[in-house]
Copies of this chain bind each other. A is one copy, B any other.
């Protein structure tokens, strides 16, 4: 099916979802680690618009934006489908994927970054409102995809590791088990899948990365204030 390369960053949850998808499909690929603080000419060449990872390069043609890449992978390599077959179920998965990226992830990161008392409380409340919507969707299911992991599990698959790191670095609790029992159970199920567990960064390296990123962003905001 042609040569496959992935330009990624080990710390990026958007890249992990692509690695998981390629592994589910059994696709061999060359992995090119990108230094996001010193972007390579290769990245700029293949993603001139956003200059961001991940970029999948298939037969020398680049595809950017992780949700777009997941759809592409699912269309090119048909075995072990990621999206469900039924159009309504597909719309459901796509709707919630967008929600996870735009609301859950963004909200969690803002809560991690927030510093002061009231600002922080509001950000946590807002992130938890989004998480509560997601909690309802996973109630009673093993995976979002049903009995096996699918598209929406990959998109949400950052929660078990990355959300915990955001909680630690942001000195807060976003996902208490008693409030989100079904997302907790799902987190255990997903991290129990070998190909997921084996393709995530070490917790220590991610904590260090987030500490550095959050400090940097806060210093930018402080200098503006």
Contacts and interface: CB of A to CB of B under 8 A. Distances in A.
Contacts of A58: 88
A18 to B, nearest CB: 13
A-side interface size class:
20 to 34
Most buried by B among A61, A63, A95, A133: A95
A90 interface: yes
A183 interface: no
Nearest to A86: B75
A46 to B, nearest CB: 12
Interface string A61-73: 1011101110110
A68 B99 contact: no
A193 interface: no
A49 B88 contact: no
A64 B94 contact: no
Nearest to A77: B87
A166 to B, nearest CB: 22
Contact of A63 (B68, B75, B91): B91
A147 B49 CA distance: 26
A68 B95 CA distance: 6
